[in-house]
Structure 1
């Protein structure tokens, strides 16, 4: 992992610099000109961690979202409302896309999947 390095003489930050003739990376101080050979060729590293607690929890206002498609061919099992918003999502370990429905009744907002 890359870390910040500081000059041994003046305690300022050492910046990455390349020596094109020797083809090596150096850490160089911009104030006192001290140079140190980099111990690794890694200059920057970004780690991406997947969101572990991902859930299908719907936002309360999603039924009012005019950009999502709606259907009147399903009924909510909680309140018997005849309209729902729907979207597709790929679930881990499931082949193909899964269809999710959210009840358009603002007091219900029940979510289920097909």
Structure 2
């Protein structure tokens, strides 16, 4: 994983720089022109993560899936009184467990999270 690097001469931040002639990655100080070789060619890493709501958007007809439990929950968009629900499957420490609902009306399909705390 990439981290910040600092100049051993003046303690300013080192920035990635390419040595075109030798085809290697260098880290250079913009203050004192100190350069050092890079041990890892990775300069930037972008990690994408999906939320539970994003993952269910791939499954268009949740209301037809018999594996999801159902609840008498009123849809805030259309007023239909039945919804399927599921919990977040995120395993990250910074994500709290939430209940997600999907309206069972074939015409609606609205998805929302429960803020009151549970299916009724």
1:12-51 paired onto structure 2 within 5 Å = 12-51=12-51
Contact persistence 1:6–1:13 (CA under 8 A): yes
Q: Could you tell me which of 95, 98, 105 is aligned with 2:61?
A: 98
Aligned CA-pair RMSD? 3.0
Deviation by residue 1:18-56 (Cα, 9 ceiling, x = unmatched): 1111110100001111100001110100111121x439x
How high is the TM-score relative to the length of structure 1? 0.53
How high is the TM-score relative to the length of structure 2? 0.50
| Structure 1 or 2: more strand by fraction | 1
> Highest Rg: 1 or 2?
1
Q: How many residues align?
A: 74
